Copies of this chain bind each other. A is one copy, B any other.
């Protein structure tokens, strides 16, 4: 028997309760990356916040973007990035997912979320922003571009990967990083965290050849 399908028009979406809509629309784009962004103010106060609007921008140079809502709790992170230019992206794994989510609480600016949630800032030589010591995959980023999106006032922050640390065993011979083996968490909606299981890798597609599985 066919599955029962529900259809929504834009008008129906706009008439939803605001919280319902936020959860619904945040879900519809599919699974998302989720990272902890570590920053430090010029005055030396650390900040840590969970973000799930991450997007790959390019490999040469290595660029990753993320979306910030300027009126939100994410504002402290944005301020630190704009004033210091440096930040870190730290993958989540199962043991730190609850602490990561807790960083989304509206802590006062004077409180470090590292302390509040029980994660450890780690510094690396020559890099201003704190990494999350407990994270297995850590990226040190430098701000490269800030773009205000006219359509809704959100901001796209693009940074360059200045350094990357990850477990040797998850790096494959062709450069692929086995995030499932690393235990990296995916997110969906506003508040859902997921483990993943690799289904398949496929070879580079060509019009007249069948795909092969990359083992």
Q: Chain A residues in contact with chain B, CB under 8 A?
A: 3-10, 13-14, 16-35, 52-65, 67, 69, 89, 91, 94, 97-98, 101-108, 111, 116, 136-137, 139, 144-145, 147, 149-152, 154, 156, 158, 160-169, 171, 174-177, 179-180, 184-186, 188-207, 211, 214
Contact of A191 among B53, B105, B111, B201 (CB under 8 A): B201
A45 vs chain B, min Cβ distance (A): 16
A152:B56 contact, CB within 8 angstroms: no
Given A3-B167, A54-B55, A59-B21: A137 and B35 interface contact (C-beta under 8 Å): no
Cα of A70 to Cα of B202 in the assembled complex, Å: 23
What residues on B are CB-neighbors of A188 within 8 Å? Answer: 177, 179-180, 196
Which secondary structure dominates where chain A touches chain B?
mixed
Cα of A98 to Cα of B214 in the assembled complex, Å: 13
B211:A189 contact, CB within 8 angstroms: no
A139 vs chain B, min Cβ distance (A): 6
What residues on B are CB-neighbors of A207 within 8 Å? Answer: 105-108, 111, 116
Contact of A197 among B91, B154, B167, B194 (CB under 8 A): B194
What residues on B are CB-neighbors of A139 within 8 Å? Answer: 28
- Pick 22 A–B contacts, CB within 8 A, sort by A: A5-B168, A8-B165, A9-B163, A10-B161, A14-B60, A20-B174, A24-B171, A25-B56, A25-B161, A28-B139, A28-B161, A30-B34, A30-B179, A31-B32, A31-B186, A32-B56, A53-B57, A60-B152, A101-B211, A105-B205, A111-B207, A191-B201
A52 vs chain B, min Cβ distance (A): 8
Cα of A201 to Cα of B53 in the assembled complex, Å: 17
